[in-house]
Amino acid sequence: MKTKIAIIGGGPAGLAAAIAAKEAGVEEVLIIERDRVLGGILNQCIHNGFGLHTFKEELTGPEYAARFIEKAKELNVEALLNTIVIDISRDKVITAMSAEKGVFTIEAEAIVLAMGCRERPRGALNTPGYRPAGIYSAGTAQRYVNIEGKMPGHDVVILGSGDIGLIMARRMTLEGAKVHAVAELMPYSGGLKRNIVQCLDDFDIPLKLSTTVVDIAGKDRVESVTLAKVDAKNKPIPGTEEIIKCDTLLLSCGLLPENELSSQMGVDLSPITGGPRVDESLETDIDGVFACGNVLHVHDLVDYVSKEATEAGEHAAEFVKGASKRDSEAAIGIETGNGVRYTVPVCIRKSRLRDLLTVRFRVGNVYKDPEICVYLGDKCIQRRKKQICAPGEMEQVILKKTDIEAMNSGETIRIAIENESK
């Protein structure tokens, strides 16, 4: 089987990339999706709050996904469902597997990686105690409640205040469970401010910062968990233990971009994001292989996923039309200054820039009243005041092609957080 552009993953990123590639005039665009339906993680996110930026409406996850699925159908985007990609070679031969076709290969001219992310497992968290029933990742619990109609438990403690944990605190409460607390190791929440207000404050669910689970009691089923405060080095402080009786512990301790395929293929990955290091065209270090959505870096809002993936689809289309090949032009690096953990992209080539380039990033701490500053060489060209920057919210700056063109050779771009109140 052959195709022009193969897109791995049919979530919001894969769908937006496919639509953009088709609209750019590429005939053969193929989505490969392991699930039986398109839409990705949005299918289990039945709460509203999606699409405020894209559609200026508050949609549920499935409603948001449906708009893209309909559009992809209208444009005759081909989709192989129930099909998992198990390998991609550097020369873009994809090995996939399905019950219907067995193991088969697809040769592509360009590939868009859009495999999303998965939740950090309990094993990676080092929580002591037995392995009783009643411990779930928040996303698994969400799938049980929203798709399979099953209740994971009735007395709940949640470890981790990422968005999925916050959303599940509200969801379990609405389904009749008592959520006793959300414990967060860091001194700040990992989720969006609006989710803290709408999912915890509105339901009187306490958020316990600088707190972790130090023990889980119960052999067959969880009977209680012990929480304790942690010090500045995240070590539990003796004497601060609090035992909470519960039958369920939900873990919401971070998301990991799903990059086993990318890594097997030899794509250069960032140790900070866990996703591919990409340039201004969202192209990885392998020519014709692009990445977008949560596989690239974990996003807070799906609107940004769709926007980024549209760009990836357009660039993949330019690539297969031969309009955008990388030549020997040296790339200009984007450096992370004070407070900035990473940037996407990590470098740019002047000749391939569009008029405006969005650089997305996250900060590593909570900063009050900071300025987001952009330096080209030694010159500060942007200084934007914000009320707050927090690790749970993605930030972005927009660079102008005309500014980049005026840079001297050897200069780099730097983004930094400055002048925050102490």
Ligand X SMILES: Cc1cc2nc3c(=O)[nH]c(=O)nc-3n(C[C@H](O)[C@H](O)[C@H](O)COP(=O)(O)OP(=O)(O)OC[C@H]3O[C@@H](n4cnc5c(N)ncnc54)[C@H](O)[C@@H]3O)c2cc1C
Q: Pick from 41, 141, 186, 249: which binds ligand X (CB under 6 A)?
A: 41
C-alpha distance from residue 94 to each of 4, 32, 117 (Å): 12, 10, 20
172 belongs to the binding site for ligand X (CB under 6 A): no
Of the candidate residues 40, 152, 153, 370, the single one contacting ligand X (CB under 6 A): 40
**For residue 401, what is the enclosing H or E element?**
helix 401-405
Strands 371-376, 178-183: pairing is unpaired
33 binds ligand X (CB under 6 A): yes
Per the CB < 8 A criterion, the answer to whether 72 and 38 are in contact is: yes
Kindly state whether residue 301 participates in binding ligand X, applying the rule CB under 6 A: yes
Task: Give the count of residues interacting with ligand X (CB under 6 A).
Answer: 37
Q: Does 34 bind ligand X (CB under 6 A)?
A: yes
Q: How far is the CB of 44 from ligand X (least distance, A)?
A: 7
- Nearest to 65, CA basis, from 19, 25, 110: 19
Residue 80 beta carbon to ligand X: minimum distance, rounded to whole angstroms:
9
Q: Which is nearer to ligand X, 114 or 179 (CB)?
A: 114
Helix, strand or coil, per DSSP, at residue 86:
strand
- Report if residue 111 touches ligand X, rule: CB under 6 A: no
List the beta bridge partners of residue 113: 8, 291
Residue 55 CB contacts under 8 Å (≥ 6 apart), including other chains: 64, 67
**Residue 16 Cβ vs ligand X, minimum distance, rounded to whole Å:** 8
Residue nearest to ligand X (CB): 11
Q: What does 247-301 look like in DSSP terms, one character per residue?
A: SEEEE---EEE--HHHHHHT--B-TTTSSB--BTTSB-SSTTEEE-GGGTS--S-
Q: Is 50 near ligand X (CB under 6 A)?
A: yes
Tell me if residue 363 falls in helix, strand or coil.
Answer: strand
Provide the minimum distance between the beta carbon of 96 and ligand X in the complex, in angstroms, as a whole number: 7
According to the binding rule CB under 6 A, does residue 13 interact with ligand X?
yes
Q: Is 257 in the site for ligand X (CB under 6 A)?
A: no
Determine, following the binding rule CB under 6 A, whether residue 139 of this chain makes contact with ligand X: yes
Question: Which positions lie near ligand X, rule CB under 6 A?
Answer: 8-14, 32-35, 40-42, 45, 49-50, 84-85, 114-116, 139, 142, 163-164, 167, 258, 261, 293-295, 299, 301-303, 305
